[in-house]
Amino acid sequence: MHRQGRTNGESASTKCDTAGKTCGVVTVRLRNLVNSAPKRAAAKYVGPMSEQESGLIEGTDGKTRCYWHANRPDYQAYHDNEWGRPVADDRRLFEKICLEGFQSGLSWLTILRKRENFREAFEGFDFERIARFTEKDVERLLANAGIIRHGGKIRSTINNARRALELCEQEGSLARYFWRHEPPPEDRPERLDFATLTANPKTDVSTRISKDLKKRGWTFVGPTTVYSFMQAMGLVNDHIEGCVTRDEVERERQSFRRPA
């Protein structure tokens, strides 16, 4: 589930949408999502607990989905067509983990709506090219109003591109590295409901990956960032029970060929 914002250090999930661990906070956050959705979205929350605590939203098409896209058309398309579907392409994996870093302190929707600008600015997230960026490129990127102009995050992406090259030399590919950390079924919740999801903005696996990447010199890869990456790239299926996309994503994960 995408965070609405988090601190760079990710010391706690208090600034992300998974932070509301009391019913009151969850209710307020869900209500705010409804209020901020386009008027034509006509969002309605549904679910077995209560309308505002189930984590499910009914859209104008009558289908029930995870609440966080709030019936915004571009966000709903991302939810339906991308989030949770397994990815083994190194460029897409690198893009995603970098954009998750850019999201620190912001919402994913902000990044999503700038994603094409990021792709253009960062050479399609070809990490071999980005690894050759110089300070002149940093200055160019800091002047680009189409992306998030944060010097630390820009330099982190360049640094991580160089670390990605090293990781590929050691592991064969980014896909091999990340997919060997896929949690086994017995480590996953038997039933993924909204309460379980919001209570776990990071996991033991994401913490392990985060620590390992940091040892390898990566930056902006805290455990919450890494878990959001895992959710988006299909290493886990965190579409909650009752979401129309959950079973489809699970079938795709089952037929997905893991990198050897």
- Residue of 68, 75, 108, 227 marked active site: 108
As a dihedral over the C-alpha atoms of residue 201, residue 114, residue 258, residue 251, rounded to 10 degrees, the angle is 80
Return d(Cα 161, Cα 179) in angstroms, integer.
19
Catalytic residue among 53, 95, 100, 241: 100
Within a 10 A sphere around the Cβ of 259, how many other Cβ atoms?
Answer: 16
Q: Which one of 45, 68, 75, 78 is the catalytic residue?
A: 78
Is 108 considered catalytic here? yes
**Cα–Cα distance for residue pair 10/202, rounded to 1 Å:** 10
**Encoded amino acid at 178, one letter:** F
Active site residue 83: no
Q: 202: which 2 tokens?
A: 């990071």
Just list the catalytic residues: 78, 100, 108
